[in-house]
Amino acid sequence: MKTVDLLIVNSQSIATMNDEREVIRDGGWIGIRDGIIVALGNSDQIPPPAEKLFDATGCLMTPGLVNSHQHLYQNLTRSMKPNGVTGLTEWFWTYFPMWKELDEEAIRTSVRLGLFELALSGCTTATDHEYIHPFPFLMDAVIEEAVEVGMRIMAVRGSMTLGPEQGGVCLPGMEEDEEDVIADCIRLIEKWHDPKDSAMVQVALGPSNLMSSTETVFTRSAEIAKKYGVRLHTHIADDPDETEYVLEHFGKTPLEVLESLGWFTKGTWCAHVVYASNAEMDRLSASGVSVAHCPSATVIDGGLPGGPTPVRDLLNAGVNVGIGCDGATAGDHQSMWMETKTALLLSRLREGTVQAMTAMDALWLATRGSAKALGREGNIGQLTLGANADIAAWKMDGIAYAGSLVDDVTALLQGGPAQVWSSWVGGVPLVQEGKLVGVDVSAEVTRHTKSARRLQAFSQ
């Protein structure tokens, strides 16, 4: 067999997340060439020769986790909830005055910090949904930082086009002109969107929600997405405030409105979907719309009425579900491991049974589910031949997992806390032996704190 660039050997187990959810135990290995997994085997099989070896003794190998929904800038205003924000609308009014002051430095430092935090939690593909654009070319700054950090990114060009005088939940001056938004979406797709399986950067279109975006920006985005082969993303069915607003303005439920705007296609993935009738779940499933489930966001303010998200019901209806961290102002942390564990716990709490979500189910959501939501099924979120070598190694031989001898995936997600030991994006090291490769963490945090202080001054 041809020499590989990197061979990961001696793993304790490999959760391949292939269609059969196969786990290779005791001595499995992974061979990588040109950023792709080209060989995979167990201890009875002979691995190819390699330029470099990584000794994964004591490690569970999983696909790098895939984050399907987030707003990276929100880590500049994190953990401010003790101030007593209740409900989505009040939440917007609390944070908008600060986010209105985002400048390029704040965006760049928050994106970097957010990606570092995600990387340490085992994530290798991020999503950044930016719907506030106080300065031009904001999305370009996001993408440039992601490229420099070396994580794959789904850059969602969000927007708010429904100003307060049209009844939108938006501060005066925060809304963008719809023509500017559409022009910027097209510019970004043409400049950055890479349709290839190996893409590091993809672009999607994401009006923020039905309370702050015009109907026409939804319909026009759907047309552009179809023309250019890019994906659509938004928040929907996520809060009683939104249900009330949409019923009042449209006389329909949020999901009914979204469907009427031409968004029920397999190119769409939606954040949250806490509130969906059985008929709406069936419609989501039949049309191929995916859901990005952000578990912490549904409970951190004390819990949504009727929540948390009925993930088991969505899955039983055949809806594809991925995991997202949501912004750090909604979930406070940006750990994909923590969100995956929280998804497991909340589903069990909601349904009252372990079968509501096994650890393997939760890992599926955070890998295969999210990958499908981002339209990248088969090339990320799985350790199989031909997939991108986006890999996480979790060290299972420390104190937290002592005594867990049966099933590493269950140990990882029922136990913890966990931070990734090593990870690779397209075979390139991102985290090695618990440390971000080539990052001066202290300098990055100092830089970030400066912007956070500046923004939070606007909260008074």
Q: Which residues bind Zn ion (CB under 5 A)?
A: 271, 326
Q: Please, which residue, 40 or 271, has the CB nearer to Zn ion?
A: 271
Q: Please, which residue, 6 or 294, has the CB nearer to Zn ion?
A: 294
CB of 331 to Zn ion, least distance (A): 9
CB of 300 to Zn ion, least distance (A): 13
3-state secondary structure the chain: CCCEEEEEEEEEEEECCCCCCCEEEEEEEEEEECCEEEEEECCCCCCCCEEEEEECCCEEEEECEECCCCCHHHHHHCCCHHHCCCCHHHHHHHHHHHHCCCCHHHHHHHHHHHHHHHHHCCEEEEEEEECCCCCCCHHHHHHHHHHHHCCEEEEEEEECCCCHHHCCCCCCCCCCCHHHHHHHHHHHHHHHCCCCCCCCEEEEEEECCCCCCCHHHHHHHHHHHHHHCCEEEEEECCCHHHHHHHHHHHCCCHHHHHHHCCCCCCCEEEEECCCCCHHHHHHHHHHCCEEEECHHHHHCCCCCCCCCCCHHHHHHCCCCEEECCCCCCCCCCCCHHHHHHHHHHHHHHHHCCHHHCCHHHHHHHHHHHHHHHCCCECCECCCCCCCECCEEEEECCCHHHCCCCCCHHHHHHHCCCCCCCEEEECCEEEEECCEECCCCHHHHHHHHHHHHHHHHHHHC
CB of 275 to Zn ion, least distance (A): 15
Q: Please, which residue, 4 or 270, has the CB nearer to Zn ion?
A: 270
CB of 271 to Zn ion, least distance (A): 5
CB of 22 to Zn ion, least distance (A): 34
CB of 301 to Zn ion, least distance (A): 14
Q: Please, which residue, 292 or 314, has the CB nearer to Zn ion?
A: 292
Q: Please, which residue, 145 or 326, has the CB nearer to Zn ion?
A: 326
* CB closest to Zn ion, residue no: 326
Q: Please, which residue, 273 or 319, has the CB nearer to Zn ion?
A: 273
